[in-house]
Every structure is written in C-alpha cells, then in structure tokens.
Amino acid sequence: MASSATDAAVALTRLGLGARPGEIDRVAADPRGWAMGQIRPQGAPQPSGQFADTAERVAQYIDYQSHAGLVRRDRRAAAPATAEAAPSPAPAPGMPDAADPQAVARREARQAARRDITQDTAQEFLARAQLGATTDDGFAERWALFWSNALTVSAAKFASGAFVGQYEREAIRPHAFGRFEDLVLAAEQHPAMLLYLDQTRSVGPDSMAGARRNAGLNENLAREMMELHTVGADGGYTQADVTELARALTGWSIPAARDQRQPNRPRRARRMAAPAEPGPDGFAFRANVHEPGPRTVMGKTYPAAGLAQGQAILRDLARHPATAKRLSRRLAAHFVADDPPPALVARLEAAWTGSGGDLAQVARALVDAPETWTPQPAKIKTPYDFIVSTHRALGTQPQRIQPLRQALLDMGQPPFAPPSPEGWPDTAADWAGPDALVKRLNWSRTAADLAQAADPNAVAASALGPRLGERTRMAVARAESRPEALTLFFMSPEFQRR
C-alpha cells in the first residue's frame, strides 16, 4: 500500500503540522478518514494548561488600566504645562516622580500588571506550540490557525495582545468548524479584536455620549471587516459603506471599571454612560455611544436596532458571495499552492455557498478534493510550521518560551504578532528569501545540536515517508555527524515544504 503511505505523508504535512515518529504508519490505513475525523462540531482542540478565560482577563485588564490611569495622573501632576497637553486639571507644581514613594509604588504596580499579562500571553503561545508539536489532530489545528490568521489580531499592540490567547481559545477554536457568520461574529465582538482595531474608542457623533464629548468615529474595524474579514477590497463596497458600517458599530465595546462603579457614582454615571449591556466573552454594548438611525451598507438599509444593527450587517457581509469566493481562494492558497488550482478553489466555493458558509462542509471539500493529494510538496512552511514540524519529526516539544520566541523573531514571525491586520502571508516569496534561509539554517543547527540522540536516518524516514527524496536520504546517510545529518534534513527542499 505504497500509495496510502504517500497519502498519509501528504495528509500529515500538507493538512497537518508534520509527521511524528510512527505517525505515517498509523495514518496510512485511512489518510482521508484521519482528516475527516477531526472535523467536529465542537471545533478544534484546545491547548492544555490553566489560563484565564476572557472574563477573568477583562478583570485583569481593567485592573491594569486603573494602575495605568493613576500613573498618568501622577505624570500630569509632576510635569504640568508642557505645551503638548490639553489644559491640565492639576496645575500643582511638579515634583519629580521618583521623589514620591506612592507614585513609584503605583508605577511599579502598573509595570507588574503589564508584565503579568504579557507573560501569560507568552505562556499561552508556548502551550499552543506544544499542542501543535504533540497533537494527533494536526488538520484541526492547522484549520484553526488559518482562521485565527484570516481574522487577525496582533500582540504587537499591548491591549489586543492581552486577549490574544483568549481570542484563539474562545472565539476561534470553538467556531472553526461551525458557520462562518458565527465565527466572524464571535471574532469581531471579542475584546482582542475590538481593542486591536480601535473599535472601543469609536463614538457616534450624534449619540448621547458624542453630543456631550468631543469624540467621534473611528472606522478602522469597519474597514478591515469588509476589506480583510469578509468581502475583500474588490468586493464592491465604497468609502461611504465603510463609514456607514463604522456608524453601525459604534457602541461595540468591552466592560470598564466604571460599569461596576456606577451605582455609587451618580454624577459620573450621568456623564459617562448608561450601563453597558454585557454580552458573552467580554463584549459590552454601550447604547449611549451608538449612533442612532438607519444605516445603508452596500445598497441595503438596516433600521435602527442598536447592537443588532451592526450584527445584521456583519451577517450579510459574511454570507456575501464575494466572501465565499475570497476565502475559498485563500484557503486553497494556504493549504495547497501559492497559486492554487482553479478547480480546487471552485470546489471550496461551491461547498461554501451550497452550505451557507458551513466551515465543516468546506473542510470536507478540501479533504475530498483530488488537488489536495498531489504528492509533490508545493508550499514553503511558515517559520512557525517549520519549527513545530521539526519538533514533531524529533518527537519533542518546545519546553521554554524564550528560545522559541527568539527563533520566531529571527525568522520574521514573532509570536502572536503579525505586522498588520492582514495577518501572516504564506508564499515562498515571503518566507524563503536569502536572510530567512540563513535564519532557518541557524535554527536547524541549534535544533540538531540539541537532538543528538536521535537517529537522523530514522527521523528523515519517519517524518517524510515516501516523500523523502533520494538526494536528501543520501545526504543524511553520508553526513559526518548526527547534527550535520539533521541540519541537512531540516533544510532539505522537501522538509522545508509541505
């Protein structure tokens, strides 16, 4: 059954994160069944470990913000009348920060709160990489990571980084094999996304809050919803549609300390807000910030309905044919080839539209498609895939976050921190440039040095199965040391691809 061993090797690398020792043999009996069996209504498996859920993280974040607010107040008091700042409420003569022990304590508390959150996020990333290195459900994992990247939030911004672990666990993974519109709604209403794309700051100019404060719209989330998360830049919307959606989204926010304080602070309550309507997973809708009135987006008018107005628009965008077309192509390009076979894209699109955006059906179509099973590897692995698949080949898992973080930083893919809302690219031109290959070689040598006990010939055979080329097999066999053999194997054309 040579062909099913090949299919197993294809399944484990192209659809998964690489083969662990013995895995190709186990999967060879039914490679398609291996993938199909991971398409479960409850979504993709979760990383293990004890992490704060979104509600707890919201509380921690509010706590951090209150420390940060006190520090800002101290700074204003210490340095009045810089021409930069608006009229300062505290014109008291400034004392240097350091001379005030309470101010120092407050600053340290802020730093500690920030550090705790950052370290938690780093541990979440390590747990995710450990799941990747050890899971039997490599396809479900890759599928979830695809959606996390398609609906990017980034820890490049502290506020969204504070929630990025929760985002993947609570918004993405549970919905990865559900309906796309439910996935999108969960993602766009999660604090990570609301903070990453500035939505929590956006105020309807004619809302109750907007009329009182000099505040207004921020159209960042609305634009990326259309451009990147649903219909795409050529999906047929205009600037006016972006602005209209931004108006509809005003009020989409997260809980704040003042929501709890309100009963005791009537004056502040009057000024700031009616209580926020709490929603699931750290979402809060602020009716007093919401721009009143009907909205027209892409030719359809949505009556005033508070939170439901933006949700209705978003569902329509998620169901739009341009969304199915765009994301089907992106899926095919991610899993199969930089320039994907049109027949594959068409299959995915048909599954998408035929099922009303049921991602389980789209996933099944990908597994069913003959284009998915061509044995020749086409895609260059991303740095994350490369590192995780190396661990899988060796039967190990990353133990500490710092070396993992440094390696990914060097290769251009720092943990949880894509450079823009577009997310990580995944073409050969993006990841196999001259400097990137030097960094991969560096990392391969380190990984090979640490894995001296492994038998390189066995590692190569079990990681690639029948996809191991003769040239690479010979190079590994003839190497003058184990580290050299493993370095050559990790850098080989077929291991660099999937």
Q: What angle do CA 85, 87, 89 make, to 5 degrees?
A: 110
According to the binding rule CB under 8 A, does residue 207 interact with other proteins? no
According to the binding rule CB under 8 A, does residue 341 interact with other proteins? no
Q: CB 36 → other proteins: shortest distance, Å?
A: 33
Q: CB 405 → other proteins: shortest distance, Å?
A: 12
Site size with other proteins, rule: CB under 8 A: 57
Among 123, 220, 353, 355, binds other proteins (CB under 8 A): 220
The secondary structure of 19-54 as a DSSP string is PPTTHHHHHTT-HHHHHHTT--TT-SPPPPS----H
How many residues are present in the chain?
498
Residues 6+ apart with CB under 8 A from 2: 466
According to the binding rule CB under 8 A, does residue 218 interact with other proteins? yes
**448 within 8 A of 414, measured Cβ to Cβ:** no
Name the residue nearer to other proteins (CB basis): 429 or 453.
Answer: 429
According to the binding rule CB under 8 A, does residue 437 interact with other proteins? yes
According to the binding rule CB under 8 A, does residue 376 interact with other proteins? no
According to the binding rule CB under 8 A, does residue 403 interact with other proteins? no
Q: CB 409 → other proteins: shortest distance, Å?
A: 8
According to the binding rule CB under 8 A, does residue 452 interact with other proteins? no
Name the residue nearer to other proteins (CB basis): 31 or 310.
Answer: 310
Contact segment (CB under 8 A) with other proteins among 54-62, 232-240, 326-334, 361-369 equals 232-240
Q: CB 287 → other proteins: shortest distance, Å?
A: 17
* Helical ranges in 250-320 per DSSP H: 257-261, 266-272, 307-319
Say how far apart CA 323 and CA 87 lie, in whole Å: 47
* Chain centroid, CA 71 distance in Å: 31
Determine if residue 306 is left, alpha or beta; phi over 0 gives left, psi from -120 to 50 gives alpha, anything else beta. Answer: left
According to the binding rule CB under 8 A, does residue 445 interact with other proteins? yes
Long-range contacts of 108-116, Cβ-Cβ distance < 8 Å, separation of 24 or more: 109/67, 110/64, 110/67, 110/68, 110/70, 110/71, 113/60, 113/63, 113/64, 113/67, 114/64, 114/158, 116/60
Q: What is the DSSP letter of 423?
A: -
According to the binding rule CB under 8 A, does residue 487 interact with other proteins? yes
According to the binding rule CB under 8 A, does residue 382 interact with other proteins? no
According to the binding rule CB under 8 A, does residue 288 interact with other proteins? no
Say how far apart CA 66 and CA 61 lie, in whole Å: 9
Gyration radius from the chain CA atoms? 25
- Nearest to 241, CA basis, from 231, 251, 256: 231
According to the binding rule CB under 8 A, does residue 422 interact with other proteins? yes
Name the residue nearer to other proteins (CB basis): 363 or 448.
Answer: 448
Contact segment (CB under 8 A) with other proteins among 65-73, 166-174, 318-326, 433-441 equals 433-441
Among 53, 108, 435, 455, binds other proteins (CB under 8 A): 435
Among 45, 216, 275, 341, binds other proteins (CB under 8 A): 216
Q: CB 483 → other proteins: shortest distance, Å?
A: 10
- Nearest to 177, CA basis, from 393, 402, 357, 404: 357
Q: Give the position of tokens 């440039």.
A: 433
According to the binding rule CB under 8 A, does residue 211 interact with other proteins? no
| Residue 253 structure tokens | 């926010």
According to the binding rule CB under 8 A, does residue 100 interact with other proteins? no
According to the binding rule CB under 8 A, does residue 9 interact with other proteins? no
According to the binding rule CB under 8 A, does residue 322 interact with other proteins? no
CB atoms < 10 A from the CB of 383, how many?
A: 21
**207 within 8 A of 302, measured Cβ to Cβ:** no
Among 1, 2, 41, 84, binds other proteins (CB under 8 A): 84
Residues 6+ apart with CB under 8 A from 328: 345, 348, 349, 352, 362
Q: CB 358 → other proteins: shortest distance, Å?
A: 28
Q: CB 122 → other proteins: shortest distance, Å?
A: 16
Say how far apart CA 209 and CA 204 lie, in whole Å: 8
Among 21, 205, 279, 341, binds other proteins (CB under 8 A): 205
Say how far apart CA 486 and CA 447 lie, in whole Å: 8
Contact segment (CB under 8 A) with other proteins among 104-112, 129-137, 297-305, 415-423 equals 415-423
* Helical ranges in 135-278 per DSSP H: 138-150, 158-161, 164-166, 180-188, 191-196, 208-212, 220-224, 239-249, 257-261, 266-272
Q: 3-class DSSP state for residue 285?
A: strand
Among 26, 75, 201, 258, binds other proteins (CB under 8 A): 201
Contact segment (CB under 8 A) with other proteins among 63-71, 203-211, 313-321, 395-403 equals 203-211
Q: CB 107 → other proteins: shortest distance, Å?
A: 18
According to the binding rule CB under 8 A, does residue 139 interact with other proteins? no
According to the binding rule CB under 8 A, does residue 338 interact with other proteins? no
Where do contacts with other proteins occur on this chain (CB under 8 A)? 83-84, 86, 197-198, 201-203, 205, 210, 215-220, 223, 227-228, 233-234, 239, 242, 410-413, 419-420, 422, 425, 428-439, 441-442, 445, 471-472, 475, 479, 484, 487-488, 491-493, 496
